[in-house]
Amino acid sequence: MIVEAILLTVITASTPLVLAAIGELVCERAGVLNLGVEGMMVMGAVGAFATAHATGSPYLGMLAGLATGAVFSLLFGFLTLTLVANQVATGLALTILGQGLSAMIGESLVGRAGIKMPALDIPVLSDIPFIGPLLFDQDLFFYLSIAIVAGTSWFLFKTRKGLVLRAVGDSHSSAHALGINVIGIRYLAVMFGGACAGLAGAQLSLVYTPQWTENMAAGRGWIALALVVFASWRPWGVLLGGYLFGAVTIGQLHAQAFGIAIPSQFLSALPYVVTILVLVIISQNRRMTLINTPAALGKPFVPDR
Amino acid sequence: MKSLKLALAASAAVIAGFAASGAAAQEDVKACFVYVGSATDGGWTQAHDIARQQLEDTLGIETAYIENVPEGPDAERAIERMARSGCTIVFTTSFGFMEPTLKVAAKYPDVKFEHATGYKTADNVATYNSRFYEGRYISGVIAGSISESGIGGYIGSFPIPEVVMGIDAFQLGAQSVNPDFTTKVVWANTWFDPGREADAAKALIDQGVDVLAQHTDTTAPMQIAAERGIKAFGQASDMIEAGPETQLTAILDTWAPYYVKRVKAVQDGTWTSEQSWDGLKDGILSMAPYTNMPDDVKALAEETEAKIISGELKPFTGPVTLQDGTPWLAEGETADDGTLLGLNVLVEGVDGTIPSSE
């Protein structure tokens, strides 16, 4: 059935966006703007592919991708949090470094046969017509992406630690005055962002297209960054935005194959147009935007002694 | 990739045989290359770099290259660096290097320049290209023979003449064996994005396509075709490893014969600026082994290839009708090179549009 086929493709295309964006969301909620998502993603992708290739296990590959992303993000953390370097410049540098480094690491892996992560069929539920194969016969990345979004939403808004993290992102000086370890919390948030971006990269090289090619994230890290703003820093908004973006992207390919005569450049631009439109609509609600935007986003913090 | 290298090594051995006779060549020629991508990109640039290594082995000359040179202002600096560093001949291997190549060439009249896929020349700037469409036509013949649904898929990159030519040649080839064949076209608007290419492949397969051609650079579409159990054609390099049971053939970029020919011309002092557009007969492109198809189809493909090489068959020969039903080429009429290089029309049977930029 064509609708189901389209939706299956949409899920695969949206999952890495959701994963990378939810990580960045937590990072930004703690007040740190990390523009290195694209670089962390390709590092995760090469780490995951290399490990899966060496061990034969896509699950070890997934863990390696996650770890690679987290460790790589530590570099960003050290530069911006400990050395208080400019976050925007450091983030951009992280992306460029990640692209170059991953290409170097992966040089011998180009063209090697990939290992695709198998789907995990959830008994009974996957037998439900239509919904079953879509939602309950997917790979681990899909389940994880939903779980992380739900978990993040719960953590940020229902737990004390989540409140502390948001406080750090809104006013690091006040949080510091209250005796909160601002730098420590930001390190953890940055690493969470790196781990999620690494996971997103692993999805690319283990599920989406089980292979390694240089720069295989192809701009998805930047889309993830835009999604965080699109979602006005709310976890479920990231899920919605990711799927909307995926649906429009895949929809336009199908529209072309159906022979609908709309210029394909327009169709390719459509996801971005939709994103801008939604941003315009959201920005009408000033109060909502103000409440959700981390007030200390991107601002350097040097604890006074 | 290994099988590609083997195939290339074999062709290099043949070339080496030719070269041995002229072993008294001068030593002072240095051939330099400016690449748009990484020398190990598994596609376009790698094909040029393999040819560079073969050139080195064949003629025993010194070569040099710069990789990852972006198209734009930086390109001029990179090309100039090559020209200044004692290169006798500089090959610039991307369309976007056209203007920078001409600019640098004007400053260094004693250095020879060769620009791939461009159309502007100067006294010391030649252009060269490959008739990839000949390979696309053979792919089409195979697609028309094996497709059960009679619908082929074609993943386009950008609506430029090179790609339009490919789509038309594919459709004409398919039509020659199955008049009812249609080619569905999806533009990915990228040369290189494994994810997007995979998505395009899935969309086409979901819509009934059972044989897939790609005009983008990664093996992602081949992988998807393998996963879904349909057949597909590789692009630029042999993609058999991505689809051992899937790849029918692939169009291989084998630039070495051209590079050897041109560098020898420099050595002999016979180099002149020209616009070269070589094809299968010159060895500038070749077909990967015909696999995963019945013997009669294989025989037909080989016959088609032989006819193109002998010049008996020219893919763009009438009668050809355009998509909207208007006649294009009359019976026996052959499209000239100028028309092909600016091609912006699709032929009858192509299910798709060329996005206009108006």
pLDDT at B88 (0 to 100): 94
Contact A113 B242 (CB under 8 A): yes
pLDDT at A305 (0 to 100): 58
Q: Which residue has the higher pLDDT, A131 or A21?
A: A21
Residue of A209, A211, A266, A270 to mutate, testing the B interface (most B Cβ within 10 Å of its Cβ):
A209
| Closest chain A residue to B217, measured at CA | A213
Angle between helices B256-268 and B2-21 (to 10 degrees): 20
Statement: residue A282 has pLDDT above 90: no
Cβ contacts of B223 on chain A, cutoff 8 Å: 114, 209-211
Residue of B157, B206, B358 to mutate, testing the A interface (most A Cβ within 10 Å of its Cβ):
B206
pLDDT at B224 (0 to 100): 94
Query: Under 8 Å CB-to-CB from A112, ≥6 apart: which residues?
Result: A53, A211, A212, B241
Mean pLDDT calculated for residue range A193-204: 98
Measured in angstroms, the CA of A111 and the nearest CA of chain B are apart by 6
- What ipTM was predicted for this assembly? 0.86
| Under 8 Å between Cβ of B11 and B58 | no
Cα separation, A271 vs B163, in Å, equals: 25
Cβ–Cβ contact A113 with B under 8 A: yes
Mean pLDDT (chain A, rounded) = 91
Cβ–Cβ contact A172 with B under 8 A: no
DSSP state of B122: B
Mean pLDDT calculated for residue range A195-207: 97
| Closest chain B residue to A260, measured at CA | B352
Mean pLDDT calculated for residue range A243-254: 89
B318 three-state secondary structure: coil
Cβ–Cβ contact A219 with B under 8 A: yes
pLDDT at A272 (0 to 100): 75
pLDDT at B133 (0 to 100): 96
Long-range CB contacts (within 8 A, 24+) of B230-238: B230/B205, B231/B146, B231/B292, B231/B293, B233/B139, B233/B142, B233/B143, B234/B288, B235/B43, B236/B43, B236/B44, B236/B47, B237/B1, B237/B4, B237/B42, B237/B43, B237/B46, B237/B47, B238/B1, B238/B3, B238/B4, B238/B7, B238/B288
pLDDT at B356 (0 to 100): 65
Total-model pTM: 0.85
pLDDT at A261 (0 to 100): 66
How many Å separate Cα A94 from the centre of its chain?
A: 15
Cα separation, B204 vs B42, in Å, equals: 24
**Six-digit token string for A295:** 């007030």
Residues 329-358 of B with CB under 8 A from A: 351-353, 355-357
Cβ contacts of B218 on chain A, cutoff 8 Å: 209, 211, 213, 216
pLDDT tens, per residue, chain B with 358 residues: 444 444 444 454 444 444 444 444 445 899 999 998 888 777 788 899 999 999 999 999 999 999 888 888 889 999 999 999 999 999 999 888 999 999 999 999 999 999 998 888 999 999 999 999 999 999 999 999 999 999 999 999 888 888 999 999 999 999 999 999 999 999 988 888 899 999 999 999 999 999 999 998 888 999 999 999 999 999 888 889 889 999 999 999 999 999 999 999 999 999 999 999 999 999 999 999 999 999 999 999 999 999 999 999 999 998 999 999 999 999 999 999 989 988 999 999 999 888 764 3
Contact B353 A261 (CB under 8 A): yes
Segment among A182-196, A283-297, B132-146, B289-303 with least mean pLDDT: A283-297
| Position A131 confidence tier, pLDDT thresholds 50, 70, 90 | confident
**Six-digit token string for A180:** 């909160």
What is the edge-to-edge ordering of all strands in the sheet holding B89-92? B62-66, B30-34, B89-92, B112-116, B125-130, B275-278
Cβ contacts of B167 on chain A, cutoff 8 Å: none
Residues 130-159 of A with CB under 8 A from B: none
| Under 8 Å between Cβ of B35 and B91 | no
pLDDT at B109 (0 to 100): 94
Most confident of A41-50, A271-280, B331-340: A41-50
pLDDT at A276 (0 to 100): 79
Size of interface A-B (CB pairs under 8 A): 114
Cβ contacts of A216 on chain B, cutoff 8 Å: 194-195, 218
| Residue in A111, A259, A266 nearest the CB of B241 | A111
| Under 8 Å between Cβ of B143 and B174 | yes
Statement: residue A161 has pLDDT above 90: yes
